[in-house]
Amino acid sequence: MAKRATLEPLLWLLFSAGGVVAALVIPVLLLLFGLVFPLGLSPPSHEHMLAVLGHPLSRVTIFVSCTLLLFHSAHRVRFTLYDGLQIKHLNELIVLVCYGGVLVGTVAAGYLVWQLP
């Protein structure tokens, strides 16, 4: 008897990749845009920021980071609802809301990244 394939390994892979992005990228961005730039320690010029955001690799990086962070948070919310609130009986609704939100957020991130100057 063959076992039915599930998406669970892929979802855990995306969860862990989002965790890595959250652990490595977000603290650096918070440091730069929360302290270094506002305090004037190393302010980038407007032209430099436009050049960085205009590069296709920067746009892909922003899009992939947003998508992975959305998957990470959706997976965390899903299992918090299952284990913390003990509402696993609403499995289909929780999966639809969590991963549907990821899909909507990914489309929105793609649109916004496309609109960058």
Q: Per-domain residue ranges for the chain?
A: 12-114
12-114 fold: 3 helical TM bundles of succinate and fumarate reductases (1.20.1300)
4 or 92: whose pLDDT is higher? Answer: 92
Q: What is the pLDDT of residue 5?
A: 81
**What percent of the chain has a predicted confidence (pLDDT) above 90?**
68
**96 pLDDT higher than 80:** yes
The conformational region for residue 48 under phi > 0 = left, psi -120 to 50 = alpha, else beta, is alpha
Rounded to an integer, the average pLDDT of 46-73 is 93
pTM, to two decimals: 0.82
How far is it, in rounded angstroms, from Cα 77 to Cα 98? Answer: 7
pLDDT for the residue numbered 1: 64
What's the whole-number mean pLDDT along residues 68-94?
A: 91
